[in-house]
Structure formats: C-alpha cells, structure tokens
Amino acid sequence: MAELAGTTDILDGPRARGAFLLRVLMEPPWALEIAEDAPLTVVAVLTGGFWLRCADRAPQQLVAGDVLLVRGATRYLLSDEPTTAPDIHIGPGQACSGTDGRDLSEELATGVRAWGNDAAGRDTMLVASYPQEVQLGTVLAAALPRIAVVNAAESPLLPVLVAEAARDALGQEAVLDRILDVVLISVVRDWAAEAPAGLAGLRVVTDPAVAEAVRLIKAEPSRAWTVDELAAAAGVSRSVLARRFQAVVGVPPIGYLAQWRLSLAADLLRDTRRTLASVSREVGYGGPFSLSAAFKKAYGVSPAAYRSEVSA
C-alpha cells in the first residue's frame, strides 16, 4: 500500500460533464452485444449478475458488487449465461436495436434512467459512460487497460449514485456527474490495489522524477514551465524526463500541464464569484480569449456555457 500512497492525488482528474447514466434491468434469458465508443464505460452489478464475453479473453462471471471498466471502442457481450445468443445490440451513442433492426430505446424504457426487458428483472446494473476522454484526466486515461474487472468494489457512494439516477430533479445532471467522479476514483483505487503489476499510468507514484514533475505542475499551474525546468527540479536530464513522463503518463510534460490547467479551470468556473479573467490568470492563460479557445476545444462548450450548466 505504500506504493499507492500518492494515488489519490494522481487520480485527481475525472471531471464528468453530461455523463450517460442508466439503470439496466434484465430478466433471463438476455444478452447484450455492445459496440459503444465512449472513452470509458462503467458497469456496476447491483443484483444478480452476468457473464462477460469478449475477444482474447475467457468468459468471466460477475456478481453483485463487481464493477466492469471498459475503455474506448471495445466490442463485448454481457449475458445471463455464457452461451446465450445476443438479441440486443448497443452501438455508439447508446443506440440500441433488436436483431430485426428496430429501435429499442423507447420500447424497453421502464422509468427515469431505467431500461430493460423487465422492470423487476433478476439481473440489474448501473451503466455510466464518460463522453469525452478529456473528462477522465490524462493520467487515468493512460492508466486503464482495455477491460478491467474489479471484484467486490468498495464504493460507499455507489448506492447514492444509483438512488440519484432514479430521480429527475433540478440540477440532477450536475449531481450525477460529481458523484460518478468519486465512484470512479474509488473503483480505480480498488483495481490498483488488487493488480499492482498492471498499474500502467499509475506508475507515476513509484517514479520519483515523474512524480516530482507532476507535483510541481500541480503546485504552480500558472507558471510557464519548460521541460528543462521540470527536469532540473526532478534531478534528471531533459531527455530522461521527457521519455519517462511519456511512458508513464501517456503524454509529454507540457501536454499534461495543459490538461491539468483545463481541469483546474473547470473546477474554478463552478465558483460564480470568479471572473473568467481571474480564472485565466490562475491557471496560466494569458487572458480570457486564450482560455476560452482551449476550453471549448477540450470540453465542447465555452467557459461561460460550462459555468451555466454546472451551476443550474
């Protein structure tokens, strides 16, 4: 556990915005063929269970308490039994159709953020997807494998997320986004603790030079850091830091600095007392226009629109 001491800080990246959440309620027999393209999909088994089937992997049974993490455009099957043929296809954008091609999105809707072949089904799960990779944070996006299974995940806020998913109240989307971030961090922490050999990007915790560079960036995000300055402070050469940072984090040091600045800006924008100019200065942008351009490219909306959404 000593190696994971810095994981909480390293995982300070997820910033969901408009995440997709759905309670899926299924009664056997059932099988879903999933070809979604979200950067990250989280599937938490609530009751009953299912079998996971995908290429290059033996069928695996998941039961209540287990959580499945799927990165990117990975095709996989979830079913009540390992031999059940899929009768529902889930495609990009959560579009769902039957074997005859008809749209099942509305046909199988059973309530607020609820969908399935039986509202009282034996097998239930919560499905959540992050729509953009920038919302995961650079380190986390680089760390996770294509598919990860976390058995008996300990996430105290998961029941809260399930309960809130069934509500349709003012500002509910923002509430769900924030809870989902915490649930994801706790699940990834459990995964890292159980599979230390597969930490991938989380190796930043055990690489002192990279860890120091990350610490400096987070301590002074407004500073115009260069790779040379970060390397000198970390006690290694420029080329060594650049190579190790890229291998561990998945992006160059300056790319990580840019991502962290935007994540921090997203947090600061929640405080309506702050002006865009003050936020720009605090995160190292020359002014509101340069921050607005970078923020819109990353998040798909302007800082002002983002503030309106999260403050609603």
Confidence bin at 8 (pLDDT 50/70/90)? very low
Q: Please write the tens of the pLDDT for every residue from 49-88.
A: 999 999 888 999 999 999 999 988 889 999 999 999 999 9
Confidence category of residue 6, pLDDT binned at 50, 70, 90: very low
Q: What is the model's pLDDT at position 140?
A: 67
- Amino acid identity of residue 10, one-letter, is I
Q: For residue 27, report the phi and psi dihedrals to the nearest 5 degrees.
A: -115, 130
**pTM assigned to the model:** 0.70
Please say whether the beta carbons of 255 and 227 come within 8 A: no
Q: Residues 266-270: what's their mean pLDDT? A: 82
Q: Where are the alpha helices (DSSP H) in the chain?
A: 7-10, 138-143, 158-165, 172-194, 208-219, 227-234, 238-249, 253-268, 276-282, 288-299, 303-310
User: Which structure tokens are listed for 276?
Assistant: 């865009």
Provide the residue range defining the domain that includes 11.
Answer: 2-198
DSSP labels for 156-176?
A: TTHHHHHHHHT---TTHHHHH
**CATH number, position 19:** 2.60.120.280
When pLDDT is cut at 50, 70 and 90, the band that residue 259 belongs to is confident
Q: Regarding beta strands 147-150 and 40-47, do their DSSP bridges make them parallel or antiparallel, or are they unpaired?
A: unpaired
Tell me what pLDDT residue 138 has: 54
Same domain? 16 vs 161: yes
- Count of residues making up the chain: 312
The rounded mean pLDDT for the chain is: 86
Check whether residue 152 and residue 50 sit in a common domain: yes
Whether the CB-CB separation of 27 and 122 falls below 8 Å is answered with yes
Taking only the tens place, the pLDDT of each residue in 189-239 is 888 777 554 444 455 456 889 889 988 998 899 999 999 999 999 999 999
- Clarify whether residues 275 and 134 are in a common domain: no
Q: Please check whether residues 26 and 46 belong to one and the same domain.
A: yes
Same domain? For 161 and 242 the reply is no
Task: pLDDT band for 3, please (50, 70, 90 cuts).
Answer: very low
Statement to judge: residues 219 and 192 lie in one domain: no
pLDDT for 5: 37
Q: Residue 249's pLDDT band (boundaries 50, 70, 90)? A: confident
pLDDT of residue 2: 34
Of 151, 171, 198, the one marking the end of a domain is: 198
Q: CATH number of the domain that 282 lies in?
A: 1.10.10.60
User: Average pLDDT for residues 150-165, to the nearest whole number?
Assistant: 92
- Overall number of domains in the chain: 2
Strand order in the sheet with 57-63: 57-63, 49-54, 76-79, 31-34, 88-90, 96-98
Which of 304, 256, 261, 266 shows the shortest CA–CA distance to 286? 261
208-219 and 238-249 helices cross at what angle (nearest 10)? Answer: 90
Q: Tens digits of per-residue pLDDT, 96-155?
A: 999 888 999 888 999 999 999 999 999 999 999 988 766 766 556 666 778 889 998 888
- 106, 226: one domain: no
Residue 7 pLDDT exceeds 60: no
> Tokens representing 45?
């088994």
Of 198, 232, 248, the position where a domain reaches its end is: 198
HSE of 290 in the Cβ direction (CA atoms, 13 Å)? 12
Give the residue among 211, 156, 209 at the shortest CA–CA distance from 9. 211
- Same domain? 94 vs 214: no
The verdict on 128 and 152 lying in the same domain is yes
4-8, 27-31, 127-131: which range is least confident on average?
Answer: 4-8
Closest Cα to residue 182, out of 2, 15, 4?
Answer: 15
**Spatial CB neighbours of 29, under 8 Å, sequence gap ≥ 6:** 80, 81, 84
CB burial of 172-193 (b: ≥16 within 10 Å; e: otherwise) equals bbbbbbbbbbbbbbbbbbbbbe
Query: Looking at the structure, do residues 172 and 66 belong to the same domain, yes or no?
Result: yes
pLDDT band, residue 185 (cuts 50/70/90): confident
Query: Cα–chain-centroid distance for residue 5?
Result: 21
Percent of the chain scoring above 90 in pLDDT = 51
State the residue for tokens 């749209």: 103
Could you tell me how far CA 48 lies from the centroid of its own chain? 25
Asked whether residue 254 falls in the same domain as residue 294, the answer is yes
User: Which residues fall within 8 angstroms of residue 59, CB to CB, at 6 or more apart?
Assistant: 51, 52, 53, 82
Q: What is the pLDDT of residue 205?
A: 54
4 pLDDT higher than 70: no
